[in-house]
Amino acid sequence: MKHIFKQGRNRELPTLLLLHGTGGDELDLLPLAEMISADASVLSVKGNVDENGMARFFARLREGVFDEEDLVFRTKELNDFIDESARKHGFDRDNVVAVGYSNGANIAGSLMYHHENALKGSILFHAMVPRRGVDIPDLSNVGVYIGAGKKDSLIPMDETQELIKNLKGANASVSEFWTEGGHELRKEEVDAAKEWFEKNYILL
């Protein structure tokens, strides 16, 4: 998978796995990673699926309706890629925190739904329930931050609330932050994500 790896100044911090939204690329979320933790290593990945010239991490049948077969395949592909990248770049595979927006947040959620110990934690901006009717692995040691907009025209509030309920039901520690905005990424939810990351992963 096309990607960028940047070695951070502090190897004890989790490696940030950056996962862009539809139409983005491996450069999109680098400024976001800098805002959340300037000292962490970064693995920024470009989605392998092309939707009318726009990169995505998995296919969809239409807006808001995922191609579940492709989702499962692409989720495994990404999980295997993280394994391979950890060996290649020398970061701790057990200490990876995803930072995803929209489509990227959805595949990050899918990693937690389908692969035990895939992630140490996740920062999910504007995410949906990746899949229904599956048994989610035990997420007792996984922290999740969810940023969402109350007026998001693409993701209704009850969709995000269902995701939160599912993750908590799998024993994840979930923090949620709601803005008055829509599907756009707002500074206040990024600031709250930074605070959450520092509280959970930086030893003071």
Question: Which residues belong to the active site?
Answer: 102, 152, 183
Q: CA 123, CA 200: separation in Å to the nearest integer?
A: 12
CA distances from 141 to 29, 59, 153, 163 (A): 25, 30, 32, 17
CA dist 202 and 86 (Å) reads: 21
Written as six digits, the tokens of 127 are: 């995410």
How many other CB atoms sit within 10 Å of the CB of residue 37?
A: 22
